[in-house]
Chain A
Amino acid sequence: MTALLRYHSALFLRSQRWLAPLILYAALVVVGVRPGDPVAGSLGIAAAGLLPVSAWAVRICLTQEPEASRAVVAAAGGRSRAHLAALLTGAGWPVLAGAVAACAVTATGDLAGTGGPAALLAGVLATTACALTGGAVGALAARPFVRAPGLSVAALLLGSLGALVTTGSPAKHAVASLVGAEGAVRPPWAACAAAVLLAAVTAAVSRLAAARLE
């Protein structure tokens, strides 16, 4: 699995396909967060901005390989494991970027009575919840479910928006717990756990569907 993750990461990073989603994320954070703002709300905005970015990254990782090279890798490393590695790579790098952003926001924001470590923990949990929910959206909006590129991008955008506003979405709960927070910040453990579950179920469905539909 390590070799597959290295392969997909190298593909993602060397192809420079990471650049556009990262720029989008940086823009969202810069526009949405001002140094000196209350830290909880800023962390919530930074986490919410990660959701479409993560969805995009997962779609990139699922579709970046030419068919012939996917076949070669499937034989060498296992078809289903290669699919999982693409999903993990696509969600893993956004989690990392989100964690860095959470650190920066915590460092520059107004703590207003909240402890720095507590705020950071809440921010990282919300970031993870949003990245994994976004990853699930990206997995459902790409192969094997949606093949046509135009439809896939439309599904990605609508899915991301939906995941941010729909009640029951782990991302919405995680963001709401920060943006609406008054007083002490409560770490969104439940939302993060729900997002982990959602991502795991989506990954399993995507692997099965790849075997059936491709």
Chain B
Amino acid sequence: MRTSERGRGPVRLAGVGRRYGPRGPWVLRGVDLELPEGRLVRATGANGTGKSTLLRLVAGVDAPAEGRITGRPARTAYVPERFPAALPFTALAHLVHLGRLQGLRTGEARARAGEWLERFGAGAYAGTALAELSKGGAQKVAVAQALLAAPGLLVLDEAWTGLDEGARAELDRAVRERVAAGCTVLFVDHDPRRLAGEAGVTLRLEHGGVHGLPPRPGDGAGPDPAPRPAAPRPARVSAPAPAAVPVPASMRIVASGGRALPDVLPGGAARVSPADGGGVVFRVGGGDSDELLRLLLAASWHVHRVEPEPAPAPAREPA
């Protein structure tokens, strides 16, 4: 019953750039990327580096201002971070509409909508108006609409946010199923442990460009260096564009924990000082903050705060 998407080839981005409005600053530029079928692709990067924009472009929600995106399969699904759908439908009716949009017949769409709502523990909400659903309930509908037609390309922009624990685990399972069936899954999540170690490709966004990275050895393996997978297949690496969007130059992360950390931290992060009220302050470049967080969480540290470094006071007078 689930469609297999094998043999359709990768989704390709060639020289893709995006800006909002004809004279806006470039959010992304010169992105050359291949998203192979049957791969789980994670996009990482500091706030404002264009993760959501990349996801919207790949999903076809936004059109690129320059460049081309080809190979997007007929069944593409997208889950936004928030789905506050004030639409005049019940959850089930909305899912049936979305199923039909992806090429299902009405009966089939209704059956699968029921199945997926059940899987996410929202079967009781089938007849509830979308406007009356809680944030988590609405997010379950958003996730169900993306999965019910067995898409060949699934784009998840922090789709786990707002789901309860059971539904988050169910979404993890559903993503693994889709990848096994040949679907390309591109996702962003603030939790570095999300599907840790399973991403076949990790994209790092900075300064408006996208870099492909091999799977991280640290993913899911704790702080100890694990053997690097034998044949990592990186995404095609782009020529990074000149900085278009300011990335926070550096971030402060306040965390506490007992376990020892490696001597060398990602991006040359520095342990600055003990924070007020306990914990340790780390200072790290904006682009490496995700990596440091990943490491801290993998070492079972408790992260108290993540914030941009306050701009330094002018240190010297002009000569």
Contact = CB atoms under 8 A, between A and B. Distances in A.
A6 B59 contact: no
Interface stretch (A7-15, A45-53, A159-167, A172-180): A7-15
B60 A11 contact: no
A52 to B, nearest CB: 24
Contact of A66 (B65, B87, B93, B146): B87
B65 A4 contact: no
Interface residues of A, number: 27
Contacts of A4: 101
Contacts of B20: 214
B87 A72 contact: no
B21 to A, nearest CB: 6
B77 interface: yes
Interface string B51-77: 000001001111101000000000011
B86 A75 contact: no
A3 B97 CA distance: 7
B77 A76 contact: yes
Contacts of A66: 84-87
Contacts of B84: 66, 68
B58 to A, nearest CB: 9
A66 B77 CA distance: 17
Given A7-B101, A212-B65, A213-B22, A68 B88 contact: no
A71 interface: yes
Contacts of A3: 97, 100-101, 103
Interface residues of B, number: 35
Nearest to B102: A76
Contacts of A213: 21-22
For chain B, what secondary structure do more than half of its interface residues adopt (helix, strand, loop), or is it mixed?
loop
B88 A15 contact: yes
Contacts of A211: 63
A167 to B, nearest CB: 33
A167 B80 CA distance: 47
B88 A79 contact: no
Contact of B63 (A7, A15, A75, A79): A79
B78 A75 contact: yes
A196 interface: no
Interface of chain A: mostly helix, strand, loop or mixed: helix
A80 to B, nearest CB: 8
A110 interface: no
A78 interface: yes
A72 B78 contact: yes
Contacts of B142: 68, 72
A78 B76 CA distance: 9
Contact of A10 (B61, B65, B97, B102): B97
Contacts of A71: 56, 59, 61, 78, 80
Nearest to A70: B61
A79 B60 CA distance: 7
Give the most central of A16, A73, A80: most B CB within 10 Å. A73
B54 to A, nearest CB: 14
Contact of B76 (A75, A80, A212, A214): A75
Contacts of A11: 87-89
B89 A10 contact: yes
Contacts of A7: 97, 100-101
Interface in A69-103: 69, 71-80
25 contacts: A3-B97, A6-B97, A6-B100, A7-B97, A10-B97, A11-B88, A15-B88, A66-B87, A68-B82, A68-B142, A69-B87, A71-B80, A72-B78, A72-B79, A74-B59, A74-B78, A75-B76, A76-B98, A76-B101, A77-B101, A79-B60, A79-B61, A79-B62, A80-B63, A212-B65
Given A11-B88, A74-B78, 14 more contacts: A3-B100, A15-B88, A16-B88, A65-B87, A66-B84, A66-B86, A71-B56, A71-B78, A72-B98, A72-B146, A73-B101, A75-B60, A75-B76, A79-B63
Query: Which 10 residue pairs are nearest across A and B when measured between Cβ atoms?
Result: A75-B78, A211-B63, A3-B100, A77-B101, A14-B88, A76-B101, A75-B59, A71-B61, A15-B88, A68-B80
